[in-house]
Amino acid sequence: MQIKCRVNAKEMLFDVSPTARVLDVLRDAGFTSLKEGCGGGECGACSIFIDKKLVNSCLLIALQLDGAEIFTLEGLQDETKEIQESFAKGGAIQCGFCTSGFVLRAYEYVKNGGSKDEQAIKEALDGNLCRCTGYQKIVESIEESMK
Amino acid sequence: MHRLPKDSRVHRGEYEVKVYRAKSVEEALELIENYPDFTLFAGGSDVSVHLQEESIGGLIDITEIESLKVIKLSSKSIKIGALVTINEILESEEVLEHLPLLHKVCETFASHQIRNIATIAGNVINDSPVADLIAPLLVLNATVILSSLESQRVVVLEELFDGFKSLKMDREIVLGFELPIEQGSFYYRKVGARERLNITKLSLVMFRTDDEYRVSGASLNSYVKRFKTIEKLLESSCFSKSELIKAIEKDVSPHSNAEYKKRVLLKMLEEALVEIG
């Protein structure tokens, strides 16, 4: 099936099965910021924006790309610069596998006027898992980027 | 060392499958009529998982039917379109004001990323015994609006369920749900391995109006249903703990960890009665 969409503001055409996972389709196309963690919609490492909404690309199928506007972390470098720096400075990154998912979620949360309250930030991260940091430094780094 | 076959990971879920796109309810219904074994596809958070595990005949993509994405408030009720996502329910001020129980349930539904695509009808139609939304919709006396090619019907949601994964729908599509606006107090608690993104071990939902108690919960039977014996008992002014235990035995038949679930349910019922009794 021919699938037309925009990825990071560029027109793209994929010729793939409509049931192929978007995670695989995009990674095969070179967008490797999205990672396969759990592959079942639990860890958020494969998060991308589709039509301005953050979703798990492991739960999307190619069919859903058709006509959509996609952003991966590769296409949001300027927009997420502050958060990325805050993560680096605050020690919110250890192995880094989950980081692109966290950065995108933090970016979306801050952009949508999320509260600075620690509990609210923790709740906002309910779709992202990190097995290294214990979350505290991630939460602090997001708080810091909002100052 | 065990090695996976080379292509098994990258191409998981990738096989030839027919896809039809419906732009309107009528188109969707015609497709359902012509391809009754195809699967309806909306947010995909449930269907795409099945796709990876087993092959299906084909998909009818209904994501572009805009008329099913509306939340509408009237004087007596709120109508929620089938394709409204969980996050859209959470963002709705009407729902927060008039259906606070539904808002609360949506807060702990899966995760932010999944709430962005999962739809209300998807959670109901998937007909899982652990579905988060069925129990609250049941106690809120929701009706479901169904359409076939020939006609529309409105039924009390409870009538759709009759056993494990045996939804009583025939070549129909869910247009939406209508929830009456009622005064009442509620209790909701979901027990799982963690606070968020958990698959319900069991949950209890109670809605109390001036006249009645409505009680339901997930993961306590082969399908989600109202707990009628418990409801009747709560409505009698005076009852003992042993009567409550007997009522639980009548209403609940968990597939796994039955004794644990019944004990926890009893504790939750007691807690609910303290909170909103």
Intervals of CATH 1.10.150.120 along chain A = 81-145
Instruction: Work out the average pLDDT over A119-143.
Output: 96
From B17, B61, B112, residue closest to A17, measured CB to CB: B17
Q: Give B203→chain A minimum CA distance, Å.
A: 19
Q: Half-sphere exposure (CA, 13 Å, Cβ side) for B148?
A: 11
Taking an 8 Å cut-off on Cβ atoms, the answer to whether A61 and B48 are in contact is: yes
- Check residue B208 and give its pLDDT: 97
From B12, B17, B113, residue closest to A55, measured CB to CB: B113
pLDDT per residue of chain B (277 residues) written in tens, 0 to 9? 344 344 433 445 556 688 999 999 999 999 999 999 899 999 999 988 888 777 788 999 999 999 999 999 999 999 999 999 999 999 999 999 999 999 999 999 999 999 999 999 999 999 999 999 999 999 999 999 999 999 999 999 999 999 898 899 999 999 999 999 999 999 999 999 888 888 899 999 999 999 999 999 999 999 999 999 999 999 997 999 999 999 999 999 999 999 999 999 999 999 999 999 8
Nearest CA in chain A to B51: A19
Q: How confident is the model at residue A52 (pLDDT cuts 50, 70, 90)?
A: very high
Taking an 8 Å cut-off on Cβ atoms, the answer to whether A41 and B110 are in contact is: yes
Q: Is B11 on the interface with A (CB under 8 A)?
A: yes
Q: Give B54→chain A minimum CA distance, Å.
A: 12
Q: Output the CATH code of domain B66-180.
A: 3.30.465.10
Q: B146 — phi, psi (to 5°)?
A: -115, 145
Taking an 8 Å cut-off on Cβ atoms, the answer to whether B112 and A16 are in contact is: no
Q: What is the number of CB-based contacts under 8 A between chain A and chain B? A: 89
The percent of residues above 70 in pLDDT, for chain A, comes to 100
Closest CA to A23 of A70, A50, A57: A57
- Check residue B4 and give its pLDDT: 38
Q: Is A133 on the interface with B (CB under 8 A)?
A: no
Q: Give A94→chain B minimum CA distance, Å.
A: 23
- Check residue B14 and give its pLDDT: 56
From B44, B61, B197, residue closest to A42, measured CB to CB: B197
| pLDDT tens readout for residues A65-117 | 999 999 999 999 999 999 999 999 999 999 999 999 999 999 999 999 999 99
Instruction: Work out the average pLDDT over A47-75.
Output: 97
Q: Is B16 on the interface with A (CB under 8 A)?
A: yes
Instruction: Work out the average pLDDT over A15-21.
Output: 91
Instruction: Work out the average pLDDT over A36-55.
Output: 96
What is the DSSP annotation of B33-56? HH-TTSEEESS-TTHHHHHHHS--
Cβ-contact B104, B200 below 8 angstroms: no
What is the DSSP annotation of A51-82? TTEEEEGGG-BGGGGTT-EEE-GGGGTTTTHH
Taking an 8 Å cut-off on Cβ atoms, the answer to whether B48 and A56 are in contact is: no
- Check residue B10 and give its pLDDT: 41
Report whether CATH 1.10.579.10 matches the domain A81-145: no
- Check residue B2 and give its pLDDT: 41
Please tell me the distance from the alpha carbon of residue B51 to that of residue B35, in angstroms, as a whole number. 18
Q: Give B14→chain A minimum CA distance, Å.
A: 5
From B44, B113, B196, residue closest to A61, measured CB to CB: B44
From A16, A24, A60, residue closest to B44, measured CB to CB: A60
Taking an 8 Å cut-off on Cβ atoms, the answer to whether A28 and B111 are in contact is: no
Q: Kindly list the residues from chain A whose CB atom is less than 8 angstroms away from the CB atom of residue B48.
A: 19, 21, 59-61
Intervals of CATH 3.10.20.30 along chain A = 2-74
- Check residue B6 and give its pLDDT: 40
> H or E element: which one contains A3?
strand A2-7
- Check residue B15 and give its pLDDT: 60
Structural domain boundaries in chain B? 18-61, 66-180, 186-276
What CATH superfamily is the domain B186-276? CO dehydrogenase flavoprotein, C-terminal domain (3.30.390.50)
- Check residue B198 and give its pLDDT: 84
- ∠ CA B196-B134-B222, nearest 5°, is 95
Taking an 8 Å cut-off on Cβ atoms, the answer to whether B112 and A18 are in contact is: no
Report whether CATH 1.10.10.10 matches the domain A2-74: no
- ∠ CA B181-B192-A112, nearest 5°, is 60
